[in-house]
Amino acid sequence: MQPKQDEKELFLKAQKRVRQIKIFYWHLALYLIVMALILLNFYVMEEGPYVKPITGLNVSIIVLWSIAIIVNAIVVFRKKPIFNKDWEEKKIEEYLKDKHQEEQTFWE
């Protein structure tokens, strides 16, 4: 009975991980949309009595939400570094293979 329980736990962990990544990408998409709208607001904003408060609010939203997105990315992707040893070894092998193939085709 133990192996089935372990498989179930692994499945639940994988399911949770996929859900975290999915939520992060939705968060990132919403962030990009809102940032585009805020930048558009900066572009079309005209002089008036509320320009400074609106600008301050927009800048604070940009700063705080950017920090939140960075923290969310660190939490979601902390277990999987971008450039790990396997990646380095794979890229070195690809580079050597390409160089070797390039040398062979050059003289043929």
pLDDT digits (tens, 9 = 90+) for 10-19: 888 888 888 9
Each residue's pLDDT tens digit, 40-86: 988 888 888 888 888 899 999 999 999 999 999 988 888 766 667 77
Instruction: Map out the domains of the chain as residue ranges.
Output: 2-82
Report the alpha-carbon distance of residue 17 to residue 90 in Å, rounded. 25
Choice between 25 and 44, residue whose per-residue pLDDT is larger: 25
State residue 52's pLDDT score. 87
Size (the chain), residues: 108
Cα-Cα-Cα-Cα dihedral sign, residues 20, 26, 30, 33: positive
pLDDT value at 106 more than 60:
no
Q: How far apart are the first and last CA of the chain?
A: 61
**Nearest Cα residue to 76 out of 28, 34, 42:** 28
